[in-house]
Structure 1
């Protein structure tokens, strides 16, 4: 039989109030109440168990840090669901921008008419990305290159390397995280250089 705690019968707002007054137990009660629901909500959108779990864990980490200062104009439930959706959308956007840039860079170089200086900048960006890939741990690099250069599916990579789909997804996710910051900086730098040239 499940143990009964008084926090189980408190409302979300009551738990939030106690948490904001310093109650760790109240935070744990909100965590237990909402983690499974928010995880399912994120998983329906991401279709990836690890990403969904990491995302909700990060959400509650942020809630632990910032929650004591929150002055909600909506319910705790609405706030947490909205925060989950926003984090999922941000993740989609980051991955979409990154994947589009990596996959289209070669095509961009071959089809767009550019000045000599612009071509040099684009080649430098490509070299930066390749350098970052080469510095990845060997297994991560192998999986990432099979995915992005050989265009193999997660299952094909898993079968080829005799590892699980889950491992493939996690390694690609980690590789994207490593590249994301470098690419974001490089894109901003390149745009600034092109504007200066023009």
Structure 2
């Protein structure tokens, strides 16, 4: 076995391309500490720096037979650390963007759902109270509020006086205000 310590980077790279595990170990021992320091400087996080360096060396070993180096092994390794760091930043940004977007969707969805449920409950309550009105009063009220007919149109359609129409609508509104409470009553008037 040769002494791999005395080999140059170029010789080690050549042996690595031939699948020599001892050459890989020498490259690892020679550059791991320096790459870790470099990764710490750019990530500001020891754990992330260690992960990046390990991934770079795993990749180097996996691709040892097909790797194309356009410069020295040290340049390649430093570039690979930088690439992994930017890749990590992209993933963090995507995760953060996704988390923010998802939280916004949840908040918005929750508000929409709550509002929809409340609106349905109010409408159900209002419809229930309208249906409990005396028949003639309910008919006049529904023609006025749901079909938006004028007093004159209701009077002609039901063959009653406009004054009766007015009295029926006012009586219906008083009854509904009492039964529904002010808040639901205002909703009824606003949805007119």
TM-score (norm 2): 0.51
CA shift for structure 1 position 24: 1.1
Tell me the residue number matched to 1:17: 14
Higher RCO (C-alpha under 8 Å, 6+ residues apart): 1
Q: What is the RMSD computed on CA atoms of the aligned residues?
A: 2.3
Asked if 1:72 is matched to 2:69, the reply is: yes
Tell me the residue number matched to 2:52: 55
Unaligned 5+ residue runs, structure 1? 112-198
Please state whether the residue corresponding to 1:61 is helix, strand or coil: helix
Distance 1:85 1:21 in 2: 26
Tell me the residue number matched to 1:83: 80
Alignment of 1:1-198 (within 5 A): 6-107=3-104
2:40/2:46 contact within 8 Å kept: yes
- Structure 1 segments of 4+ aligned residues over 3 angstroms from their partners: 104-111
Higher CA-based Rg: 2
Please state whether the residue corresponding to 2:91 is helix, strand or coil: helix
Distance 1:20 1:33 in 2: 17
Distance 1:100 1:18 in 2: 44
CA shift for structure 1 position 95: 0.3
Please state whether the residue corresponding to 2:70 is helix, strand or coil: coil
CA shift for structure 1 position 8: 1.6
CA shift for structure 1 position 52: 1.0
Tell me the residue number matched to 1:137: none
Tell me the residue number matched to 1:163: none
Distance 1:106 1:16 in 2: 49
CA shift for structure 1 position 82: 0.5
Distance 1:110 1:30 in 2: 52
Unaligned 5+ residue runs, structure 2? 109-192
Q: Which moved more, 1:17-26 or 1:91-100?
A: 17-26
Question: Which whole-Å deviations, capped at 9, do the CAs of 1:27-76 have from their partners, x for residues lacking one?
Answer: 10000011111111111111111111111111111110102212212111
Distance 2:58 2:71 in 1: 20
Distance 2:18 2:104 in 1: 56
